[in-house]
Structure 1
Amino acid sequence: MDFKDVRVVVAGLGVSGRAAARVLAERGAVVTGVDARTEVDGGQELRAVGVTLRLGDGDTLPEGAQLVVTSPGWKPTAPLLVAAADAGVEVIGEVELAWRLRPEEGAAPWLAVTGTNGKTTAVRMLTSILRAAGLDAVAVGNVGEPIVEAVTAGHDVLAVELSSYQLHWSSTLAPHAAVILNLAPDHLDWHGSLAAYGEAKAKIYGPGTVRICNADDPLTVALAGDGAQAFTLGTPAPGEFGVVEDLLIDRATTEDPVRSAEELAALGDVVPLAPHNVANALAAAALARTLGVSHAAVKDGLRSFRPDPHRIAHVADVTEVAYVDDSKATNPHAAAASLAAYAHIVWIAGGLLKGADVEDLVRNAAPRLRGAVLLGADRAQIAAALARHAPDVPVVEVAATDTGAMDLVVTQAARLARPGDTVLLAPAGASMDMFANYGARGDAFAAAVRRLPGAGSAGNTGTPEA
């Protein structure tokens, strides 16, 4: 698409917005950057490339706008976006912009990942596999470098993490291959309903896209439709990737999927070894195989992969109790996956549930719980569910919200734990009621664990169940 002299409004000047404004200005567009904040990072650099900044007013559509590129966090109900729609001005996101910026010839294929949980891990695994195959691959989209810059950088392939927000604002996207890892209620305050959330996710499948879904998640199967490949934690049928004994198996891209299968990797090659992480590995392998990446490269890539912080991260063993940080489990679906990975758990939970229901989460986790320590704004909702579904499990509620609150939480958890147990931070809620972000919450947990008497003692009782 030729953007020369097109009057473009970039709504929101975060990392992706600034990158979009800069790239558009370099392509000759007449760019106005809009943000409700009165100061933004990189403002001087944007002005230097010709971007007009209108700060302190995020509601008014600039006159003469021909296209709006919105940051993913802006809701469709934002006044500027409503005004654009009323005026017949197209609204797209940074991902859709990047798709339109691809070179006409030799564009790197996109392998795209979305889902309620596991997106970043699956994309990082995929990138590791692609690099093990000798490809120049980068993680972009909702992770890594801005995608509008990566599309013209000459990479061999892009591993693209896409949120429902980003997909909502996409209209012509058609990756080479794409997967929906899982689907559970999330961001309903933004999308309005589970159906609308699912519709946004399904936009990852464009014309000609190799569609991959989770055979164990009926919602993703329905969104992928007929003819899709699938992955499962069970024994794979023809056309699926799955698990047989202690091996990850390809029964989808072999010469004869009905009569033969190929080994992808061993369960021990997946780190950390937990059921949902095995699913992420299978999804990453399925995407890589659509480009003909060898089974050996899949194994090498998984072996060399290490997860980002705060994702089932083993912090320490203290007096024969393992302490695990999964602060990234910011919704019930993610917390359920984390809780399913351990046999005996003292659960640290709470935060902002954003209207999410925790009944199924607590009911299913109840047999594994030794105790629970609850914190944060919506802890009472989790406490009530525990009283209904796990009445014999001791529960401690911590009302403190100051900087020492996590020390109190960890101390109470340590008192409830027995040798062989896992103290698991899997909050099921967002962190902003008490912390800057989930990373700060996980860091506070890890610091509190290391201050426990006896911290650093040997033992590794927190190995997740396969």
Structure 2
Amino acid sequence: MGSGQVTDWQGMNVTVAGLGVSGIPAAKVLHGLGAKVTVVNDGDDARARAQAADLEALGIAVRLGDGATLPEGTELIVTAPGWKPDKPLFAAAHEAGVPVWGDVELAWRLRGPDAAPWLAVTGTNGKTTTVQMLASILEAAGLRTAAVGNIGVSLLDAVLGEEQYDVLAVELSSYQLHWAPSLRAHSAAVLNLAPDHLDWHGSMEAYAADKGRIYEGNRVACVYNVADKATEDLVREADVEEGCRAIGFTLGTPAPSQLGIVEGILVDRAFVEDRHKNAQELAEVADVNPPAPHNVANALAAAALARAYGVPPTAVRDGLRAFTPDAHRIAHVADVEGVAYVDDSKATNTHAAEASLAAYESIVWIAGGLAKGAVFEELVTKSAKRLRAAVLIGADRGLIREALARHAPEVPVVDLDRTDTGAMLAAVQEARRLAVAGDTVLLAPACASMDMFANYNQRGDAFAEAVRELGAGA
């Protein structure tokens, strides 16, 4: 099936793996194109049966409780991105010479001849924010755009819907990239690389290689993080179109072919005439919301992709000013008695928590939850000098406590031996007792939330509610 378009789907036997958020739309789209679709799903619970009934009413075959067997006659598999590459279904497909695509690959193949180019973003942390900033900048330039992929509009809807776009801002996970062999972006960025999802990819090398696929075939710019050499290495290894440039972003002074910061100004030394002598002012650091260092880095990456597409400098400034971050991402909740309370419940891994902790000078840190195999030594070592105290909650808090004892023994630690939802109020009350005016009480758990909460949103809401109770009693 090569890398070309499939023009005739009529009667093609396609197996869709998974009844999730990508599988159901993919099955419906393929059925609408005339393919003979069979959906296979590991689970066979009440929800899956209800979803199956909806699809079967359209004439789509569904096999529940059997995601391992390759249906006879399958010519193509379209998989949910979360399905691991080592599943028996894919081994059987490989054996039979059947290609496996993800939903991103399907969307890429279904684009029309005049399809909008893709500006693509991946990375361990910051993807969603960067893509939303990018879409805001593109809109400020008067372009018809949408934030798509892992967020916002579904990619299939964006590619096949009525709406006509000039350019798409696309968030891609390592899973999606793994299953998207023919994707070729206009320009792309890898924001950072830190160990994550290694249980899925099998090794850090495999994870990095899947992230690096985003650069394959780029036409204009491969945007990398100057502070993260691994991202630049991926650019070096990528096979790109002739004339495509490596563009770095840095929180320091930019060299030629980089975007960076000079005296509180975001400047471009990449997309300017005579970049060895000239720099273009784009925006002020104060235009970035919030202006925490890692978020300024996100803004520079978004600006680099937008400039690669040719937007004017004023659009970068106006787009950044118009952008508001999602809830629970370094969200300032309140000031109580001169102490700032900040909710970064979205910091569900050590890399995100490290970026969050780097944004403040004197911190009472609320942390803990489900570690998902993470280790905390490096995080604590790098952040120790900023910590006034720590309050620990959740199932795996002992791992953080041990790292603090080893690498920051002078930092007072309150270990709340609790995993009930009321623990957050107790944690905030302890933090208030430990903090002095000028400090920041920061919820940056470095862990997943599911031991105590439904998700990180609920955890952040519990923190904000606890802070409001403090304020009411202040």
Tell me whether the two structures share a fold, i.e. TM-score over 0.5. yes
> Is 1:426 the counterpart of 2:444 in the alignment?
yes
* Partner Cα distance (1:82, 1:314) in 2: 48
Q: How far apart in 2 are the matches of 1:384 and 1:352?
A: 15
Which of 116, 123, 140 pairs up with 1:108?
116
Distance 2:52 2:148 in 1: 23
**Alignment map for 1:454-465 (pairs within 5 Å):** 454=472
Q: Which amino acid aligns with 2:137?
A: I
1:238 aligns with 2:256: yes
Query: Within 5 A, what are the aligned runs for 1:284-303?
Result: 284-303=302-321
Which residue matches 1:78? 87
Amino acid at match of 2:146: V
What is residue 157 of structure 2 aligned with on the other side? 149
2:187 aligns with: 177
SS of residue in 2 equivalent to 1:85: helix
Q: 1:345 to 1:208 in 2, by over 3 A?
A: closer
Unaligned runs of 5+ in 1: 458-466
| Separation (CA, whole Å) in 2 of partners of 1:86 and 1:372 | 53
Question: Residue type matched to 2:434 in 1?
Answer: L
- Does residue 369 (structure 1) correspond to residue 392 (structure 2)? The answer is no
Q: Give the match for residue 138 of structure 1.
A: 146
Structure 2: distance between partners of 1:10 and 1:411: 50
Letter in 2 for 1:272: P
Cα distance in structure 1, aligned partners of 2:315 and 2:140: 5
Asked if 1:49 is matched to 2:58, the reply is: yes
Structure 2 residue identity aligned to 1:14: G
- Aligned residue type for 1:245: E
- Tell me which residue corresponds to 2:39: 33
Aligned partner (choices 219, 224, 227) of residue 235 of structure 2:
224
SS in 2 for 1:283: helix
Q: Does the 8 Å CA contact 2:188/2:218 hold for their aligned counterparts?
A: no
| Contact kept in structure 2, 1:183 and 1:220, CA below 8 Å | yes
CA RMSD of aligned residues (A): 1.5
1:195 equivalent in alignment to 2:205: yes
| Residue of structure 2 equivalent to 1:158 | 168
Q: Distance in 2 between matches of 1:15 and 1:68?
A: 16
- In structure 2, C-alpha distance between the alignment counterparts of 1:199 and 1:28, rounded to whole Å: 35
Q: Deviation at 1:78?
A: 2.3
Output aligned runs, 1:442-457, within 5 Å.
442-452=460-470, 454=472
Query: How far does residue 208 in structure 1 lie from its aligned partner after superposition?
Result: 3.6
Q: CA deviation at 1:59?
A: 2.7
1:239-254 equivalences in 2 (<5 Å): 239-254=257-272
Identity of aligned residues (%): 62
Residue 45 (structure 1) shift: 4.3
Which of the residues 291, 313, 317 maps onto 2:331? Answer: 313
C-alpha distance in 1 between matches for 2:468 and 2:248:
42
The corresponding residue for 2:410 is 392
Partner SS for 1:204: helix
Equivalent in the alignment of 1:462: none
Which structure ranks higher in relative contact order (CA pairs < 8 Å, sequence separation ≥ 6)? 1
1:96 counterpart letter in structure 2: E
Whether the aligned pair in 1 keeps the contact of 2:364 and 2:434 (CA below 8 Å) is yes
* 8 Å Cα contact 1:113-1:160 kept in structure 2: yes
Tell me how far 1:61 sits from its aligned partner. Answer: 2.4
Q: Number of residue pairs matched?
A: 455
Cα distance in 1, alignment partners of residues 71 and 334 from structure 2 = 54
Offset from partner CA, 1:160-186 (integer Å, 9 cap, x none): 000001111111111000000011111
Structure 2: distance between partners of 1:177 and 1:420: 42
Contact kept, 8 Å, 2:421 with 2:453, in 1: the verdict is: no
What residue number does 2:283 align with?
265
In the alignment, what sits opposite 1:214? 225
Q: Distance in 2 between matches of 1:351 and 1:189?
A: 19
Q: Which residue number corresponds to residue 241 of structure 2?
A: none
Offset, 1:147: 0.5
SS where residue 168 of structure 2 aligns?
strand
Q: Distance in 2 between matches of 1:264 and 1:338?
A: 25
Change (3 A) 1:453 1:297: closer
| Per-residue deviation, residues 277-330 of structure 1 (Å, max 9, x unmatched) | 111001001101111111011110000000011100011112221111111111
Q: Say yes or no: does 1:204 pair with 2:214.
A: yes
Inter-partner Cα distance in structure 2 for 1:309 and 1:241:
28
- Matched residue, 1:59: 68
CA distance in 2, matches of 1:241, 1:159: 19
Q: Structure 2-normalised TM-score?
A: 0.93
- The one-letter code sitting in structure 2 at the alignment partner of 1:134 is G
TM-score (norm 1): 0.94
